[in-house]
Amino acid sequence: MIDELQVVDDPARTAAAPAELQALLTDEIFVAGRWERGTGDLIESVDPSTGVVFATLHGATAADVDRAVRGGLQAVADTGWADLLPHERARVLYRIGDALDRNADLVSALQTLDTGKTRTETKALCVSAANTFRYMAASLETMTGDVTPSRGPFLTFATWEPMGVVGAITPWNSPIASDAQKIAPALAAGNAVVAKPPVWAPWVTLFLARLAQEAGLPDGLLSVLPGPGRVVGEELVSHPQVSKVTFTGGTSTGRHLGSIAARKIMPVTLELGGKSPTIVFPDADLDQTVAGLVYGIFSSSGQSCIAGSRIFVHRDVHEELVSRLVAATERLVVGPGGDPRTQVAPMITHSHRDSVAKMVDDAVAGGATVLCGGRIPDDEALAVGAYYLPTILTDVRNDDVICQEEIFGPVATLLVFDDEDDLVAQANDTVFGLACGIWTADFPRAWRVARAVKAGTVWINTYKQFSISTPFAGLKESGIGVEKGREGIRSYMHQKSIYVDLSGRPLPWANLQGEER
């Protein structure tokens, strides 16, 4: 995943945003409860479907990070946010979820304009975000500490307390849902949050801050600071008064931020890259499987950390599966996110599209065969957008670069297997361990392979289905820590153990009476 500034100097490549969105595109950042013009780098937001600039925004600086962190600490103290009863904090989170519901059409339109995603997807992401705030509110209301088994004449408790200020660095590929998955549990835990949205898609996070403010979240508990990672992100992780950072993005950036956090002895949650295997056994329902494979890799234009990009097919069904898969892929509708017919929308930027195209070209030069796609569309109506056709490659090896490195685009590789043990070895032969899909009618085999594959999430006869109540985590270089579920709240809290004496007697070691031993 990539996070960088893009500046377009050609005035001919600018256009006004739709009228209903213009009021949301003000040149302001949100610092400790105050809307103000940033003094950092100029961010130019480009519509991926047209390549034109629709808004500009002055980003945040390192000084803004410091003001936001200090303001967050002051807000926690002044508002008593951390000391409110759980149901009182939950009441605000419920209202934020309801505000997202009421404004779902605006959120969806804004995110489609900013990221190029289809309206179907961005509407679903908004619904997911609203449900995340409500789930975290409900979990907060019913969360308990633990009375642990006593090992002596004392009562023991395990309790959980807020950390203070949390930094949340969110990705460009699903902003509003990722925002909610970090901000909602961190607020529920009693913290203040300083969010750094991606420079390629900052607007929906800024709108979320307005909705949170209108819902009654006390000023200062949330700041939103768009800006380049080298400025805002690094300062957020380095700041001595930030107690935790949660980051979703590329593995190389996550490794760098993690090293900064390690020097502070600060906990982090890192949700990073993936190169997820999807496995087709000979007894799989091929109609169901093809639908799942196509959705698993080509939805979101392949710009997903969990994309099912390595497709392993048993030799016995390889020929039929490939024929069906290619036919289904070629039927996908490529177009702008605002067109209700579109299934595969443009990529986030032209530069990212070009990096995906280069990876495919390099694979072909190395011997891969393109079964479909493998190029920019010929359609003149799509010529100005950041489009790339859904692509399937064969004649590749699992150790090829195209099968080992995250592409983050609509590109799948096909590999053949005969033996289950060899399959598992190949599936695990990657530095990543984020997700896996298994297609089979044999439940014992599905369970066996699901346990053997090193991945944080495994889907059996489905793919890319999520529940906010179910934890999400990665193994190996796919990340550290857990998001979602009840543990999603506790990941933003410190654990404390409390011992209460029940004996009423002095500890014998002190020998208070001066007796000889």
Catalytic residues: 182, 271, 305, 483
Give the CA radius of gyration of the chain.
25
- Tell me, rounded to whole angstroms, the distance of Cα 22 from its chain centroid: 27
Query: CA 73 to CA 82: how far, in whole Å?
Result: 11
Kind and range of the H or E element at 310?
strand 310-314
Using CB atoms within 10 Å of the CB of residue 448, give its burial: 0 to 12 exposed, 13 to 18 middle, 19+ buried: middle
474: helix, strand or coil: coil
Q: With contact defined as beta carbons under 8 Å apart, do 212 and 204 qualify?
A: no
Query: CA 476 to CA 454: how far, in whole Å?
Result: 8
Closest alpha carbon to 50 in 15, 6, 88: 15
Residue in the block written with tokens 């909602």: 184
Question: How far lies 139's CA from each of 91, 95, 419, 458, 496, in Å?
Answer: 12, 15, 44, 24, 20
Residue in the block written with tokens 């996550």: 254
Using CB atoms within 10 Å of the CB of residue 341, give its burial: 0 to 12 exposed, 13 to 18 middle, 19+ buried: exposed
Angle at 277 between CA 434 and CA 403, to 5 degrees: 100
- For the chain, the first-to-last Cα distance in angstroms comes to 68
Query: CA 155 to CA 501: how far, in whole Å?
Result: 6
Kind and range of the H or E element at 28?
none
Question: How far lies 317's CA from each of 66, 281, 324, in Å?
Answer: 58, 8, 11
The token duo for 212 is 């949170």
